[in-house]
Amino acid sequence: MAGFFSLLRRLYLSLYNWTVLFGWCQVLYFVLKTLNESGHQYVYNAAEKPLLYAQTAAVLEILHGLVGLVRSPVTATLPQISSRLFLVWGILWSFPEIIRYSFFGFKETFGFTPSWLLWLRYSSFLVLYPTGISSEVGLIYIALPFIKASEKYCIRMPNKLNSSFDYFYAAIVAMGIYVPGSSPHLYTYMLAQRKKALSKSKRE
């Protein structure tokens, strides 16, 4: 019975990772195609749907950690997924995701990953993580005037719940806690994971 559930787990995770990889490849394709043919101002409209689907699917990764399908701690997964969902649904986020999901796709489907992909998985963040955090904070800042003018996602009183929500100020708070709240913890965690994974691959 344990062997059956192990097989079922691998089949599910293989399907999940290859599906999300396909979604992120679509995002990259539409971005590059639109940049080449039309210009940067049309990129988001072209990539919006696959981007929303691919990034929102990552919510399942939190559940995977909670139920024990994967060993990734929820304390590391939750802030990463939450911040990206905030950017995608509230503001705007392919290379990192293509590396990530192809890595797990190979691992769950074939039981191994090519050495070059293993290295990319555990090394690309050294550059991509700080540049990603910087660009995400920059995107929030650039979006603030639009959020304020459009009152996007704002809830005004009076209403049935007798409560209000101002997305403009929520975005400012998010921007303030973004770097100190996530960067040190996640970066040191990823450095430890890199050392562990690459040391193991050398021994093998």
- Name the residues annotated as catalytic: 129, 136
What is the token pair recorded at 44?
Answer: 């988001």
Report the run of H or E that residue 1 belongs to, with start and end. none
Angle, helix 125-150 to helix 95-110, in steps of 10 degrees = 120
- DSSP assignment of 49-93: HHHHHHHHTTHHHHHHHHHTSS---HHHHHHHHHHHHIIIIII--
Q: Which two tokens mark 85?
A: 């969902």
The secondary structure of the chain in percent helix, strand, coil, rounded to multiples of 5, reads 80, 0, 15
Tokens coding 162: 């007798």
